[in-house]
Amino acid sequence: MGDYTDVLKRLVMYRKSLGLIQTELAEKVGIGQEQYSYIENGSVKISGHLLLEFMKVGFGTDELIAGRSYSYEADDLDRAINTIDTDENKNFALKLLAELIVNKSRQRREHMNGETADNMEMLDALSQSWNDFSMTQFVRTRLSLSQIEMAERLGLGIKKYRELERETIYPDAETLLSLYNMSNYQPTLFMNMSDRKTQIIKSIWCIFTPAEKEKLLNYAVASANILD
């Protein structure tokens, strides 16, 4: 389990790796040097908004929070989805692909390792709720906790927690770390970035053979193109 002081150490390390002093990085992310110094010494939390600004500078949020990056071999998936013209049709293809993967993988789950099995459970939940999917709600349900119990674990008031679960706000770095520690899921998935659905599908993509991947993609893309 990670500690917030580790996050701050990585923040300092990333800043120095870019050859920036505090004043320079503060300017890049749109805050004053004094406020930034409070962030590095832990007096002020790294807000969800600031996490997004750090990403623009080049800091990976997953590495900052979890101390690791997440990379999946899925160039074939990216190429296939990018052949679809509209965002609406891409969304349809991804949803269909998620449902196909879940159905195709039911008999394989007992042979999956821990992380792969966890990712499959996440993909299953995503495929069922899709546009209404909440990563925080998924983890809470998985842990069999009420909203009040989850809020207490995260050290949040119930009102703020409900906003977090509805994904109307981004978690700050300390909350994001807590979510990672209790679930071991990729931190940025809790931030509902534009490619979250694709990332969740990619997390399970490696279990299929090249021939299986080709069939899945051909079916999903062809079905989406029929919509035009």
Tens of pLDDT, residue by residue, the chain (228 residues): 679 999 999 999 999 999 999 999 999 999 999 999 999 999 999 999 999 999 998 888 999 999 998 888 899 999 999 999 899 999 999 999 999 999 988 777 666 778 888 999 999 999 999 999 999 999 999 999 999 999 999 999 999 999 999 999 999 999 999 999 999 999 999 998 878 999 999 999 989 999 999 999 999 999 998 876
Q: How large is the greatest C-alpha to C-alpha distance in the chain, in angstroms? A: 56
**What is the predicted pLDDT for the residue at 93?**
95
**What is the predicted pLDDT for the residue at 215?**
95
Q: Where does residue 45 fall: left (phi above 0), alpha (psi -120 to 50 degrees), or beta otherwise?
A: beta
**What is the predicted pLDDT for the residue at 110?**
67
**What is the predicted pLDDT for the residue at 228?**
64
Amino acid at 217: L
Judge whether 208 and 216 are in contact, CB under 8 Å: yes
Q: State the pTM of this model.
A: 0.91
Structural domains present in the chain: 4-66 (1.10.260.40), 75-226 (no CATH)
